[in-house]
Chain A
Amino acid sequence: AQTVTQSQPEMSVQEAETVTLSCTYDTSESDYYLFWYKQPPSRQMILVIRQEAYKQQNATENRFSVNFQKAAKSFSLKISDSQLGDAAMYFCAYNPAGTASKLTFGTGTRLQVTL
């Protein structure tokens, strides 16, 4: 069974600084997708960034980037120039290719952004 592990229950970062959230996963599949979702207090799940396992290049979306290490099964999220609006729960998620978006989520990391 696939598992997703987020070892940091809480993280804190100062506004304008950079923070990295960790995620590791376990799978025997070779083709899959990885995601980072943000869940603010409104509870809405917002897709932050997505990585396809067959792509070696790390995905980036503006201030958000990932460090995808396929051999190590690691998928960390880096948030640059942190903003107050980045404060939220962040979930790492895994989806084997061809399983119609059947996501497995990690336990989440609560990110605090301080002034």
Chain B
Amino acid sequence: GAVVSQHPSRVICKSGTSVKIECRSLDFQATTMFWYRQFPKQSLMLMATSNEGSKATYEQGVEKDKFLINHASLTLSTLTVTSAHPEDSSFYICSARGGVRSPLHFGNGTRLTVT
């Protein structure tokens, strides 16, 4: 079945550095991908909608200059956490689907730890 691959699964970085997370749809094309953030023992919060070939749509309260999203192809979206700080430490999950009636598939998530 359709699979969404997310890489890396875990990353530790120092405060002030940038980290890039990749989300790939492996066997379908995804014009739209979604990025979520999940704090421990909490729900998933939508950060932004990534649109292939155009700018991402960010949810209220999400800093677009902090969380850069690029959707350069129909199978790849990237989330870059710029100038990371310890409060950015969280679990980030992407999702994608192949068509309007297709189910949404989630990546396995990325645990980001900023020291």
On A, residues with C-beta under 8 Å from B are 42-45, 47, 50, 91, 100-108
Query: Which residue among B38, B97, B108 has the maximum number of chain A CB atoms within 10 Å of its CB?
Result: B38
User: How many B residues are at the interface, by size bracket?
Assistant: 20 to 34
Number of inter-chain CB pairs below 8 Å:
44
Known contacts: A43-B108, A43-B109, A45-B95. The answer to whether A102 contacts B44 by CB under 8 A is no
For the residues of A in contact with B, the DSSP-based class is: loop
Query: Whole-angstrom distance from the CB of A97 to the nearest CB of chain B?
Result: 10
On B, residues with C-beta under 8 Å from A are 32, 34, 38, 42-46, 49, 91, 93, 95, 97, 100, 103-104, 106, 108-109, 111
Chain B residue at smallest Cβ distance from A37:
B106
Query: Whole-angstrom distance from the CB of A74 to the nearest CB of chain B?
Result: 19
Query: Which residue among B34, B43, B108 has the maximum number of chain A CB atoms within 10 Å of its CB?
Result: B43
Q: Is A47 touching B43 in the complex (CB atoms < 8 A)?
A: no
